[in-house]
Amino acid sequence: MLIRKPDFYDSFRCLAGGCPDSCCKEWQIAVNPEAAARYLALPGQLGDRLRRVLCCEEGEYTFTLENGRCPMWRSDGLCAIQAALGEDALCHTCRDFPRLRHDYGDFAELGLELSCPEAARLILSCPDWGYVTRELPEGEEPEYDREAMDILLRTREKALSLLEENRPVPEIFTLFLLYGYQAQGELDGEEETPFDPETALETAAQLARAADFGEILEFLAALELLNPAWGDHLRRGEFTLPGKECLPLLRYFAERYWLQAVSDLDLACRVKFMVVSCLVIRAMDGDFVTNAQRYSKEMENDPENVEALLDAAYSHRAFTDDKLLGLLRGLRC
């Protein structure tokens, strides 16, 4: 099995008590069965407390939040379980986050979640990151469609190369979006054809029409949110054309989501999701990295919100191709 990871992956260190937005608050923490069994059998005061706060529904364990916080999160910002028993005693969720693993059977890709403040800093401050690969003896026969994966691997490489072109950033985003549609055509059985950026930009100019960016913000604000104040923050967003700081962000989304289209052969909705996510984060007032991290926490880490965004790519009037192309040309109504 081939393992591929960004060269900054092993640089991650949890900020613990110094984290500005701890992963120990606002969301429920899933506890794997092995950790739950250990916690339930633990003697003493810590064991008594764990038994009070562990909740089991339909065989799945979670910690019951107290005032929106994990009950094991101490006032000094550290974890009571780790402090008493060491890191190995943490449940899988807490030990692994924000590390990602996308396992495709014969290869796996590792990464970091944007929803962690320190991970977001690493991702967005390393625009030219490279990769480290290594071969491991284990591995399984892949269940994916090999031809589809070959197309996705090749087209992702091409899409990422577009981010390096010496062009205005809105044009790069336009080319990325339109190339995503071409790659979708190849997944659907069309022949591979060269991608001509100049022709693509001419097509974009012909298709683009004015859009109301506020409709996108309102749609997102109406989704299920961990923090209601986030919805108000979204609604205050003001559209701004993407700048250079958006390129590593778009790369993050492409690296994370492009290959996932192998599951349903639907790449186009994911490409729209990537572009819209960057535009929304760019539009928000305040620090760009902080906004990216909070967006990820509210949207990416909620599977229902991600699914709603992917569905909206086809069903919501604000996400049509002509309107997205219009936004990237600065056409608003």
The more confident residue out of 85 and 128 is 85
Q: Evaluate the CA torsion angle 319, 298, 180, 166 in order and state its sign.
A: positive
Distance CA 74, CA 118 (A): 20
Query: Binning pLDDT at 50, 70 and 90, where does residue 118 land?
Result: very high
pLDDT at res. 143: 75
Closest residue by Cα to residue 120 from 27, 21, 216, 217: 21
Query: Binning pLDDT at 50, 70 and 90, where does residue 144 land?
Result: confident
Decide if 71 contacts 53 (C-beta within 8 A). Answer: yes
Mean residue pLDDT across the chain: 92
Q: Which DSSP helix (H) or strand (E) runs through 82?
A: helix 80-85
Distance CA 278, CA 234 (A): 13
Distance CA 144, CA 73 (A): 40
Decide if 94 contacts 29 (C-beta within 8 A). Answer: yes
Q: Which residues contact 235 (CB under 8 A, 6 or more apart)?
A: 214, 217, 218, 221
The lowest-confidence range among 88-97, 114-123, 172-181 is 88-97
Count Cα neighbours of 128 within 13 Å in the Cβ-side half-sphere: 1
pLDDT at 253 over 70: yes
Decide if 301 contacts 113 (C-beta within 8 A). Answer: yes
Decide if 82 contacts 46 (C-beta within 8 A). Answer: no
pLDDT at 140 over 80: no
Distance CA 68, CA 90 (A): 20
Query: Binning pLDDT at 50, 70 and 90, where does residue 157 land?
Result: very high
Which tokens go with 259? 């290959």
Cα three-residue angle 92-98-101, rounded to 5 degrees? 75
User: b vs e for 178-192, b when ≥16 Cβ sit within 10 Å of the residue's Cβ?
Assistant: bbbebbbebbeeeee
Q: How many CB atoms lie within 10 A of CB 177?
A: 23
pLDDT at 188 over 70: yes
Decide if 115 contacts 98 (C-beta within 8 A). Answer: yes
Backbone angles phi, psi at 126, to 5 degrees: -125, 70
Span 14-38, average pLDDT:
86
Query: Binning pLDDT at 50, 70 and 90, where does residue 184 land?
Result: very high
Query: Binning pLDDT at 50, 70 and 90, where does residue 139 land?
Result: low
pLDDT at 126 over 90: no
